Each structure stands twice: as C-alpha cells, then as structure tokens.
Amino acid sequence: MKAFIFPGQGSQIVGMGKIWNDNYSEAKKIFQEVDQILREPLSKIIFEGPEVELTKTENAQPAILTTSIAILEVIKSIKKINISKYCDFTAGHSLGEYTSLYAAGAIDLESVVKLVKYRGKLMSKSDKSGNGKMVAIIGLDINHIKKLIKSFKHEGVCELANDNSNGQVVISGDMDAVNLFKEYAKKEGAKLTIDLKVSAPFHCKLMQDAAREMEKELNKIHFFDSNIPIVFNVDALSFYKNRNFPALLSKQIINTVKWRETILFMEKEGVKKIFELGPGNVLTGLVKRITKNIECFSIQNPEDMDNLNE
C-alpha cells in the first residue's frame, strides 16, 4: 500500500518548482493558471523572490500549494499514474491538507487556490496583539510534553500545536507564556528549543477568529467525495465524504496537527511506501523518525520520479 503526502508552511524556498516549470508543460500550465486565478504574479515571487515576500504567510501558503500541485500534475502525466489506483491514502501537514484534497479529487484548482490564499491572509492577521509565538521543543516524549503543559502555571495561551514526530513537538500561544514554557521544558530535559519564524501563533485558540471566518468560506465551497481516503490532521483518521471537509479544515486552524499519529494510522492500515510531493523533504525526515516500517521518498526534483516505479 502507498500514500502521497504534501508539505506545509516552512518548506518554501525561492526558486522552488522552477525546474519543473521550465521543463514540463504540465507544471508551467499550473503556475500560469494560478497567476490568472489570483490575478497576481505569484509564480514570479516563487521563482525570483525576494525571500521576504515569499515568506509572508499569504504568499507562502499558495506558493507551496501551487508548487506541490505542479509536481503532482507532472507525475500523473509522465509516470502515467492514476492516483486513485496508485495510492491508498493521502495526507498533508497543515496547509498540505489542502493539496491532499486536490490530489484526491475533492476540490478543483481554482477553489483550492482561492481558499488557501484567503487562509493565509486570515492566519497572518489573526494575532491582533502581535505577541504570539511558536517554538519547537526537541527531545521530550509527547506524553511528557502533555503533562508539562497540564501542570504549567501561567497566564495566557500555551498549547500543543504540532505533534510532528517522536521527540519533536511545537508549542504555540502568547509570547510570554511560550517563553516561560521553553525554560520549563529545558529544565525537564528538552535537548533544544527553536523559535519558529512565523507571522502568527498557528494551531492554538488564538486563531479562533480565523477559524470562524474560514469555516464560513469553506461552507461556500463545493467539495466532492474524495477518490481515496484523506487522513486529516485533527483526528488522524481518514475521511472521504465531502460533508466532513469544512469542519475538519476549520478545526485544523486551532487544533493540534497530529502528524505522528497520522503516519502511525497509515502504518496500521498497511501502508509500506510514502511519497512526499513538493518543496523540501521535511515530512520525509519526520516519517523516518516516526517508523522504520515505511519507506519514504521525497519527490522534489525531476530525477526523484524514478522512485515512483512499482
């Protein structure tokens, strides 16, 4: 059994996807269509930068989505892959969940591009205080982290945003509370803490306004039942009925991204190979830390397509 997975925000890099755009008409078509849909030259920012523009949440999110979809469309054409027959599951990390919906035939290109652009704008502006923060905590078991958060005495929001892999979690919330938790975690044995360069504290209750507005927008979209099951971040369970998608996607903005559990779910279901499609190889690294029972391949350059052979 096989699965396709798609990266989230943070995987962006100036120049991503350009080799695909320059060599494959299928990719060029996607980049051109997205520029037309958004009525702005997103592809120019993707290929040329500057980095400060590409890193903005309202640009980074549609940029990563577009690059991942461009790669996907080339693979479908060149490798003659019918996703519903080739894959048994698909999933994405936060933003990547929207790419997985597109890959599974649950949403069309125009709708998903506009949604993700809107999502990026909402999320970047949702931290009205400007005092939000996200920090990666390295080296502590997830159950240990949960106990620490429960016992942590503080004012303000401090929540588990991402359960990425064994020993790697992300905390999100008010800056003062998150900074205090960093020190608490270090005293409890954390090997490393890393401040994340993000525009807002994603995946915590400070995103409630964004989640409410996003749900309104999601309810306007015509989703289709997906061709293959999608494993969603919120519950690490698979769904394919379109009626479930708006609630799952809006909840994702304020809830923990259960990536470790997502991979373990697919392992339990019998998945043996996973392919990460899109810029970077962050998810490939996480999968390898989560389980030794699944082979994982990053498809970010054309030569990587050789790994897609049966």
Annotated catalytic residues are: 94, 203
Instruction: Determine whether 28 is exposed, middle or buried from the number of CB atoms within 10 Å of its CB (0-12, 13-18, 19+).
Output: middle
* Separation CA 133–CA 290 (nearest Å): 26
Q: How far apart are the first and last CA of the chain?
A: 11
* Separation CA 117–CA 102 (nearest Å): 15
Angle between helices 259-268 and 282-290 (to 10 degrees): 60
Residue 96 sits at the vertex; the CA angle it makes with 95 and 100, to the nearest 5 degrees, is 130
* Separation CA 292–CA 30 (nearest Å): 35
Closest to 188 (Cα-Cα) out of 139, 225, 227: 139
Contacts with 25 (C-beta within 8 Å, 6 or more apart), sequence order: none
223 neighbors 106 (Cβ within 8 angstroms): yes
Is the C-alpha dihedral spanning 272, 275, 276, 281 positive or negative? Answer: positive
* Separation CA 113–CA 239 (nearest Å): 21
State how far the alpha carbon of 259 is from the alpha carbons of 29, 254, 284, in Å.
31, 15, 12
